[in-house]
Structure formats: structure tokens, C-alpha cells
Amino acid sequence: MFKAIYLTKGEDGSTVASVKDLNESDLPVVEGGVTVAVDYSTINFKDGLAITGKSPVVRKFPMVAGIDFCGVVKESDHPRWKAGDQVILNGWGVGESHWGGLSQCARVSGDWLISKPSSLSPKDCMSIGTAGYTAMLCVLALERSGVSPNDGEVLVTGASGGVGSFAISILSSLGYQVVASTGKKDEHQFLTSLGAKEVIDRELLSVAGKPLQKERWAGVVDTVGSHTLANACASTKYGGVVTACGLAGGMDLPLTVAPFILRGVSLIGVDSVMASKEVRENAWSRLGNDLKLSVISQIAKVVDLQCAISTGGDILKGVIRGRVVVDVNK
Ligand code: NDP
């Protein structure tokens, strides 16, 4: 038997989340499947949507929640993995259309797993989770586009959230001048301690602005979307690069082509869910090398499986600072 956050549909169509005892024989049958004893999972924004049912991210019920996990292989039908290997899973529809990682045990395709970097503990890996891995994908996109620390300020929006916190700490450790945009007035000190050189109020960006504004950003990591992303593009410097990975403020994008055709600004979309194995391995290797371990513990707090259910609601309200790790065996 093992415990997991189990999602069902109530009679009124609402999602019901509970901690349930399950048997290993309940786990899905997968070709090239690997059974993993999970050490840690985490609560991402998407897990909040799944647990509360606020958005239809769960494609079939019953579902075990959790888009991330880190653990040890128990059994493997996949040539790349053997019992005892330490592995990470991020995305691939796990926790949405395939049983997920907010569980003491998971079975997934071996193609979806990558090795845990040796410099990071299982808890570190889930403190980072999909949020930190996505932050690294954004930083890699800025680097690939030639944005360097000497080019000027880099804006990070949704700064106190999971992606935002890790984006600040990765960028600042690489020498970038980071400006953090937040709605949380009492978290300025936290954001400065992660490496932000300036903190601005998110209201400056979240209302409709002019199509072209004063040029400020060499690069942007945007987790918010909507007017925030539009204003970020409108105030990016000539030839600058904006990476878009989130929709915490809305899915719309009310902007004009002016920043692109008059200033040569690039807008790059970042997806973590279906990224290739090579892209993931590179991002996790960079996380293992570039992140200061002291920063990881500063960003994350730990809860148990029961508490993770209410955290799912809190993350959607935007009241969580940094990241929440789930010790599934607590
Ligand atoms: P969090 O909830 O941890 O952080 C989101 C932050 O956005 C909040 O902490 C808050 O920061 C800010 N925020 C919340 N609501 C609003 C609002 N209405 N207007 C403006 N800002 C708001 O989520 P994550 O960091 O984990 O994820 C951020 C976004 O990125 C989500 O939309 C998520 O779905 C997406 N994402 C996408 C991935 C991909 O593969 N493309 C992977 C991972 C995440 P503050 O108070 O500091 O302003």
C-alpha cells in the first residue's frame, strides 16, 4: 500500500482531492514502464489548478496529482534504468493525463525520466521542480539569443513565485542586473536577498500601457502574461529578448507589433512539459552547477501530502512565497 493525492469528480462536477491508500497493482500499466519510490514531490501552479479543478488540466479521473517527482527506481522494464537509480520527472502530462508524483509510488515511461544531478539532493531537486527548471529554460533562451550581463537590466515578473524566485537567483548568480516585479510589498527583502538589485510594484506593468514605452530591459523572464507581458515587450530595449512562460495574470496578450517591427525585440515562448530529453538534461545540469545550495533552502518550505491539498488552493491565490516541497513520506 502507498499514499497519494487522489482526484475524483464529485456529483456536481467539482474536483474532490483526498489522501488515499492505493495498491501498487492500481498503478497504470505503461510500455517501458519504471516504478519509482518517490522521495519528494512539489506544488506547482498547474498542480493548484488540478487539485482545485479551477481549470481543466486533468484529462481523466480518477487521477493521482503531481507534475513533478524525485525518487529511486524500484523496478524497471526500460533498458536505461535499473533498481536503485535516482531519477527526476517533470511534466510529460504526468498529473494531468497520467498518474502523478504527489504519491509515495509512481509508474511512468522510462523515456520521461532523467538522472538526478549528483550535486543536488532529492529535496533540492523538488525545491527546484518544474518552476526552477522552467526558470532555467528561460535563462538558456536569453543566453542563446545573445543577451549577456553587460547588455543591461533583466526584468523578472511574478518575482516572488516559484519560477520568478529561481529566475532571479540564477540570473543574479550569472552576473545579470535583475529587476524584480512583485505584488507583495512585504517580500522586497526576500527578493533582494535572492539577488534582485531593484524591486518594482507589479501595478506598474499590470494595467494597459502605450504600444512603445521608454526602453529599459535587455531581457525579460515573464511568468504573468496579459498586460504585464505586453508592457514588458513595449519597454524592452532595441534588439532585446522577452521570454514568456506563464499566465499567472491572464492568458490574453493585448499588445501591438510595434516592439517587434520598430525595435527588433524578440518574443520567445518557453515550454517545459514536452521539452526533449537533451533540453531537460542540459537545464538540470546547469541548475546543478549554477544554483547556490543556500538559495534553494531559502526559496522552499516543506509540507506533507495532506497539507499539499490546501497549498494547491493557496498557490492560485498568489499568496505563496517561493516554492513548496512535498515530503510524501512524512
Ligand atoms: P506561482 O504561483 O509560484 O507564482 C506566480 C506569481 O505570479 C505569484 O507569486 C505572483 O507573484 C504573481 N501573480 C499572481 N497572480 C497575479 C496576477 N493576477 N497578476 C500579476 N501577477 C500575479 O507560480 P509559478 O511561478 O510556479 O508559475 C508561474 C506561471 O508560469 C504560471 O502561470 C504557470 O502555469 C507557468 N508555468 C509555465 C511553465 C511552462 O512550461 N511554460 C512551467 C511552470 C510554470 P508576485 O506577488 O511576486 O507578483
Between the CA of 270 and the centroid of ligand 1 the distance, in Å, is 14
Give pLDDT tens digits for 97-144. Answer: 999 999 999 999 999 999 999 999 999 999 999 999 999 999 999 999
Between the CA of 109 and the centroid of ligand 1 the distance, in Å, is 28
Between the CA of 216 and the centroid of ligand 1 the distance, in Å, is 22
Q: In whole angstroms, what is the distance from residue 206 CA to residue 252 CA?
A: 12
User: 251: burial class by Cβ within 10 Å (0-12, 13-18, 19+)?
Assistant: exposed
Cα angle, residue 177 at apex, residues 172 and 179 outer, rounded to 5°: 95
Residue whose CA lies nearest to ligand 1 atom number 3: 161
Q: What pLDDT is attached to residue 292?
A: 85
Give pLDDT tens digits for 272-283. Answer: 999 999 999 999
Against a cut of 0.75, is the pTM above it? yes
pLDDT over threshold 90, residue 294: no
Ligand 1 lining (C-beta closer than 6 Å): 44-46, 130-131, 134, 158-164, 182-184, 202, 206, 223-224, 228, 245-249, 270-273, 315, 318, 320
| Conformational region of residue 101, where left means phi above 0, alpha means psi within -120 to 50, and beta covers everything else | alpha
Q: What percent of the chain has pLDDT over 70?
A: 100
Ligand 1 mutation pick, 94, 138, 224, 315, max ligand atoms within 8 A of CB? 224
Between the CA of 157 and the centroid of ligand 1 the distance, in Å, is 8
Contact 317, 93 (CB under 8 A): no
Q: What pLDDT is attached to residue 82?
A: 98
pLDDT over threshold 90, residue 173: yes
DSSP-assigned letters across all residues of 214-272: ---EEEEEESS-HHHHHHHHHTEEEEEEEEE---TT-S-----SHHHHHH--EEEE---
Ligand 1 mutation pick, 47, 51, 178, 223, max ligand atoms within 8 A of CB? 223
Contact 65, 38 (CB under 8 A): no
Mean pLDDT of 295-309: 94
Give pLDDT tens digits for 303-328. Answer: 999 999 999 999 999 889 989 999 99
Residue whose CA lies nearest to ligand 1 atom number 18: 249
Contact 194, 169 (CB under 8 A): yes
pLDDT over threshold 90, residue 236: yes
User: 77: burial class by Cβ within 10 Å (0-12, 13-18, 19+)?
Assistant: middle
Cα angle, residue 106 at apex, residues 100 and 110 outer, rounded to 5°: 100
| Segment holding 167, helix H or strand E | helix 162-173
Q: What percent of the chain has pLDDT over 90?
A: 96
Grid cell in block for residue 74:
524500484
Contacts of 276 by beta carbon, 8 Å cutoff, 6+ apart: none
Which atom from ligand 1 is nearest to the alpha carbon of 245? 41
Between the CA of 210 and the centroid of ligand 1 the distance, in Å, is 24
User: 94: burial class by Cβ within 10 Å (0-12, 13-18, 19+)?
Assistant: buried
